[in-house]
Structure 1
């Protein structure tokens, strides 16, 4: 039977599609544009847009399972309504289309950002409060709102489960992602300084393993945090140095200075029409609860994340194979 992947050309999608093919499954990738990172793979390509429910109904026809990955990640507000249109209304459309198609199961890849990351009084697990306060970033609000839309369709009979990855990093990062760009900037020595703080980072391959385990064992309507290890920006620089020999920036900007200059970073990004180096929203993430637990995923899904050092090494090795960095970039 066919399995469908929305957002197949993203970082998680590129890795999930490869794992599904390794399992011998027939994969249908729902794409809005070019099949970035999927070239040469034996999969079916269909054009579709999560904002267009009819296109999803056509894409899901005859499918056994839908893996819903499509999302807009933002550190700059709602991006003219795109964040809500994709992350909230798009989830509703995917759920409605999956129900209409009679799929066996939908696995929704949400985000740790659907939880209240500012509350540091206790470890963050699936029982903790959600991102609902108006002052929270649009992306965070959209991820929880999308889950609520999914649950409304679950109440009408859809079999679906939810995974919540933390900060994703790892190989087959073709666009590349924000974490991939960080690794490349460290290698190319393009960062004037590091920013204090950190985040819980997880290998994309471990996220894929969690997604596939959730397909088989995840409870209907249940959330499963797929986390790794809290790692500071300074630690990432040190690990990258040990692997590539490229020294990270010597300076670490004080958080007060980063916060004061964030609006100018945002304006510069807009002027150059590219994502800013950092924003007020990204700085909030760097001050998030550092104690994120994935005990439920470990118990129910058999989830076991690998060390961050292995992830960063494999990321650089993948960049080297593709010619993004020199072939001898991995030294240590």
Structure 2
């Protein structure tokens, strides 16, 4: 089968292309650039295209059965015009091009952030409130708005389904993503302490599998939360440090203390062009909702892998890809014997 992936050079895109090749598909890999790590394979054709160029996209989609739309701009900023345009108009443009090309199925990779995670119930599922509050970060609001743009195209005849991954981590990642970058630093013994907080984290390879399951079994117009397990980030960092025999974080900083520091630290962070220290990032830590993936399990047959497997294989990948400096996994040790219960 011939399929297309937008944002194919990215974190999720790289793993999805690998998954599609393993499943025997011919892949049109679409991105603005073909990076050094771009997979060169007989089943993969790399194409440079802008998601706002509908004609170019429609041409790339010619003869394609399924389009996976992954392009997104992730940020913790409150406002960002580029992120808003990419995450909303970009979805509409790509979906319209797919409809014009006669694509059978369109799979949109949205995010858990399109759901309002700051719910009093403490649980997020596909029926939860959406990210409409103007006080929410631009990424949250734009991902929900992007889904609304897609629904307009569905109403015009596009057969599309929406997947909403939680916090994505794990191999393969040539980037690194924010989460993987923090875990790499911890594995190198560079994280003496970390902020308290628990997130639902999902292996990027499970996200890729969830997307293909949605293409095969998902119902038109439906959302599917693609999650993994609740992971206390402090424990995960201690685990990867232990796997490499490095200095482990000593303590977790209470959120109450962090709230006092943020009003001072956020402006300084912005001066250096960073959005890591922000009200949005702290709010996400405070919320810590439980993500219910029952719908994906029952309708798609989706099953995430154990957290300890992802952490061990991430460390192995980082070492194999020379992203760890001199840090190496301990040899002759069973990972399971030193991994805490994180899930």
TM-score (norm: length of structure 2): 0.91
Distance 1:289 1:183, change over 3 A: closer
1:64: which partner in 2? 65
Distance 1:122 1:195, change over 3 A: closer
How far has the Cα of 1:247 moved from its partner? 3.1
Secondary structure of the corresponding residue to residue 95 of structure 1: helix
1:319 aligned to 2:314? no
Does the aligned pair in 2 maintain the 1:107–1:160 contact within 8 Å? yes
1:35: which partner in 2? 35
Q: Separation in 2 of the partners of 1:37 and 1:120?
A: 43
Q: Separation in 2 of the partners of 1:188 and 1:263?
A: 30
2:49: which partner in 1? 48
Q: Separation in 2 of the partners of 1:189 and 1:271?
A: 27
Does the aligned pair in 2 maintain the 1:120–1:289 contact within 8 Å? no
Q: Separation in 2 of the partners of 1:258 and 1:329?
A: 32
1:279 aligned to 2:278? yes
Does the aligned pair in 2 maintain the 1:199–1:288 contact within 8 Å? no
Q: Which sits farther off after the overlay, 262-271 or 31-40?
A: 262-271
Which string of whole-angstrom CA distances, capped at 9 and with x for unpartnered residues, describes residues 279-299 of structure 1?
221122212243111000000
Distance 1:246 1:278, change over 3 A: farther
How far has the Cα of 1:69 moved from its partner? 0.5
Secondary structure of the corresponding residue to residue 205 of structure 2: helix
Secondary structure of the corresponding residue to residue 131 of structure 2: coil
Secondary structure of the corresponding residue to residue 63 of structure 1: coil
How far has the Cα of 1:192 moved from its partner? 4.4
Q: Structure 1 segments of 4 or more deviating over 6 A?
A: none
1:106: which partner in 2? 106
Secondary structure of the corresponding residue to residue 52 of structure 2: coil
Does the aligned pair in 2 maintain the 1:57–1:98 contact within 8 Å? yes
1:250: which partner in 2? 250
1:225: which partner in 2? 225
Q: Separation in 2 of the partners of 1:19 and 1:308?
A: 20
1:309: which partner in 2? 308
Does the aligned pair in 2 maintain the 1:265–1:277 contact within 8 Å? no
Give 1:99-178 correspondences, 5 Å limit.
99-178=99-178
Does the aligned pair in 2 maintain the 1:171–1:204 contact within 8 Å? yes
**How many residue pairs end up in the alignment?**
330
Secondary structure of the corresponding residue to residue 29 of structure 2: strand
Q: RMSD of the alignment, in Å?
A: 1.8
Q: Which sits farther off after the overlay, 68-77 or 212-221?
A: 68-77
How far has the Cα of 1:2 moved from its partner? 2.2
Q: Separation in 1 of the partners of 2:36 and 2:172?
A: 10
Does the aligned pair in 2 maintain the 1:131–1:140 contact within 8 Å? yes
1:186: which partner in 2? 186
Which string of whole-angstrom CA distances, capped at 9 and with x for unpartnered residues, describes residues 236-283 of structure 1?
12322342222332132222332333355444444444x344322112
How far has the Cα of 1:149 moved from its partner? 0.6
Q: Separation in 2 of the partners of 1:22 and 1:141?
A: 35
Q: Separation in 2 of the partners of 1:54 and 1:192?
A: 51
Q: Separation in 1 of the partners of 2:294 and 2:88?
A: 27
Secondary structure of the corresponding residue to residue 29 of structure 1: strand
Does the aligned pair in 2 maintain the 1:198–1:231 contact within 8 Å? yes
How far has the Cα of 1:122 moved from its partner? 4.7
Secondary structure of the corresponding residue to residue 240 of structure 1: helix
Q: Separation in 1 of the partners of 2:85 and 2:213?
A: 29
How far has the Cα of 1:233 moved from its partner? 1.7
Does the aligned pair in 1 maintain the 2:197–2:288 contact within 8 Å? no
Distance 1:253 1:289, change over 3 A: closer
Secondary structure of the corresponding residue to residue 194 of structure 1: strand
Which string of whole-angstrom CA distances, capped at 9 and with x for unpartnered residues, describes residues 122-175 of structure 1?
521101111111111110011111111111110110000011100001101111
Secondary structure of the corresponding residue to residue 290 of structure 2: coil
Q: Separation in 2 of the partners of 1:93 and 1:294?
A: 29
